[in-house]
């Protein structure tokens, strides 16, 4: 598995590390033979989900927390692999013994979403019907499809109700969907740096990234694996576009400003530091990420809009939700600005749901959700402290599964 240290941009971790690492972890895989009906109308006859777990499931099976990932991350949320100690989980500052999501108290599950490229069934895995990689034949998936598959995984590991489903960005959308469509199976939802749907501008950025990939001559209609190539050019540009939206203008200015590498060259070689940085990010991404996956995950983002199931009324869409909500936004996030989080909060308030909201002052833009800002981690840690006290005495609602 490739090394990656952040779901989104490359903002550096800040602040002193708190708590300890979960240490060595193992990637697991669950195979599902029961077909999964997808929103697009197609059915996956069988599929695998890659996942990791940290901490221990208590006897009552009430302390499980699902961590959902955003665009380009995976089930490798915390810890590291014995044979790859530099490959630290993408939310390692959040999840571990004594960390905000404390693995001494919670049983934490990370899962790689369907259609991704890190072990779960997706375009790079083998289509059992052909014996070849799925490539562009893999269906387009939605947030709802992911959540349905995650529910199958919950059954498999014997979790009838999550103490919490938690995610940042696209991960937060999965938490919203859990709350709406599986209300009995979720005690609380942590919706961080998310939005109730994508704005026109959000879709526009996704579409440009897709066009960069789709028009790369090495994309070959998505069957590039058959040609032994990858649409690296398109992936590079796609990642560079995404990257801009993960960082705040202020952060980029502080970090790079107009700094030059070695003076003006009057050429198209990188002259400004920001140019080198973006090119490096693009190169790195093009090496480890799959183009068909990128296309599908951006589409899942574009499609997510639970309000459409309730005539455009988000509050009404949330009417089935019974769990408690923590919504967190960051002041300089312009991908999913605080105003979008407040739309969620207002809809929850209109539905008289139990919701807490924190708007964290942070200069890092959207990437802030991956960083260990003390105020942010304090809010999340306090939330989980309360959940931990509640679930300690809750009886199981489901018999143990094998």
Active site residues: 169, 333, 366
Binders of its own copies among residues 57 to 96 (CB under 8 A) are none
Interactions with its own copies, residue window 161-200 (CB under 8 A): 197-200
Of residues 270 through 289, those in contact with its own copies by CB under 8 A are 270-272, 274-275, 278-279, 282
Strands 43-44 and 36-37: antiparallel
Which of 240, 344, 360, 371 is in the footprint of its own copies by CB under 8 A?
240
Q: How many residues make contact with its own copies (CB under 8 A)?
A: 53
Residue 299 — left, alpha, or beta (φ > 0 → left; ψ -120 to 50 → alpha)? alpha
Part of the chain binding its own copies (CB under 8 A), chosen from 74-82, 150-158, 202-210, 352-360? 202-210
Which of these ranges, 17-25, 120-128, 250-258, 318-326, lies near its own copies under the rule CB under 8 A? 250-258
CB atoms within 10 A of CB 237: 21
Q: Which two tokens stand for residue 172?
A: 């937060």
Least Cβ distance, residue 225 to its own copies (angstroms): 18
**φ and ψ of 298, to 5 deg:** -65, -35
Q: Is 165 exposed, middle or buried (0-12, 13-18, 19+ CB in 10 A)?
A: buried
Scanning residues 104 to 163, which ones bind its own copies (CB under 8 A)?
A: 139-140
380 with 366: CB under 8 angstroms? no
Contact flag: residue 302 with its own copies (CB under 8 A): yes
Q: Is 283 helix (H, G, I), strand (E, B) or coil?
A: helix
- For residue 52, what are the β-bridge partners? 110
Which of 222, 216, 249 lies closest to 234, judged by CA?
216
Q: Judged by CB under 8 A, which of 69, 99, 210, 225 binds its own copies?
A: 210
274 vs 348 by CB, closer to its own copies: 274
CB 132 within 8 A of CB 9: no
Contact window for its own copies (CB under 8 A) among 81-89, 94-102, 182-190, 213-221: 213-221
* CA dist., res. 112 & res. 30, Å (int): 11
286/328 with CB nearer its own copies: 286
Question: Applying CB under 8 A, does 299 fall inside the site for its own copies?
Answer: yes
Site membership for its own copies, residue 203 (CB under 8 A): yes
Q: State the nearest-atom distance from the C-beta of 331 to its own copies, in Å.
A: 16
- Is 16 or 200 the residue whose CB approaches its own copies more closely? 200
């Amino acid at each position: 598995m490739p090394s990656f240290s952040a779901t989104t941009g490359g903002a550096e971790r800040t602040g002193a590390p708190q708590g300890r690492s979960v240490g060595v972890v193992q990637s697991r895989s669950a195979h599902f033979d029961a077909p999964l009906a997808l929103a697009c109308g197609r059915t996956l006859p069988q599929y695998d989900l890659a996942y990791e777990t940290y901490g221990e499931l208590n006897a009552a099976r009430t302390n499980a927390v699902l961590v959902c990932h955003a665009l380009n991350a995976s089930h490798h949320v915390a810890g590291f692999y014995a044979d790859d100690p530099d490959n630290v989980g993408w939310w390692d500052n959040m999840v571990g013994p004594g960390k905000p999501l404390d693995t001494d108290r919670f049983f934490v599950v990370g899962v790689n979403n369907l259609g991704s490229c890190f072990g779960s069934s997706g375009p790079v895995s083998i289509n059992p019907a052909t014996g070849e990689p799925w490539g562009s034949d893999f269906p387009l998936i939605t947030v709802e499809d992911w959540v349905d598959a995650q529910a199958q995984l919950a059954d498999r590991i014997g979790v009838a109700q999550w103490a919490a489903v938690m995610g940042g960005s696209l991960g937060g959308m999965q938490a919203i969907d859990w709350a709406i469509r599986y209300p009995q199976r979720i005690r609380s939802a942590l919706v961080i740096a998310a939005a109730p749907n994508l704005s026109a501008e959000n879709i526009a950025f996704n579409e440009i990234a897709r066009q960069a990939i789709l028009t790369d001559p090495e994309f070959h209609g998505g069957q590039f694996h058959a040609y032994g190539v990858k649409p690296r050019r398109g992936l590079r540009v796609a990642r560079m576009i995404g990257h801009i939206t993960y960082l705040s203008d202020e952060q980029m200015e502080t970090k790079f400003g107009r700094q030059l590498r070695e003076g003006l060259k009057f050429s198209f070689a990188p002259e400004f530091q920001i140019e080198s940085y973006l090119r490096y990010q693009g190169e790195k991404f093009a090496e480890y990420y799959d183009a068909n996956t990128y296309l599908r995950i951006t589409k899942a983002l574009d499609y997510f809009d639970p309000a459409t199931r309730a005539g455009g009324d988000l509050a009404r869409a949330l009417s089935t939700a019974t769990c408690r909500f923590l919504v967190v936004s960051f002041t300089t996030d312009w991908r999913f600005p605080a105003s979008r989080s407040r739309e969620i909060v207002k809809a929850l308030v209109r539905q008289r749901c139990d919701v807490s909201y924190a708007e964290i002052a942070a200069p890092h833009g959207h990437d802030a959700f991956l960083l260990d800002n003390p105020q942010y981690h304090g809010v999340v840690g306090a939330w989980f402290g309360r959940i931990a006290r509640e679930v300690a005495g809750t009886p199981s609602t489901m018999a143990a599964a094998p």
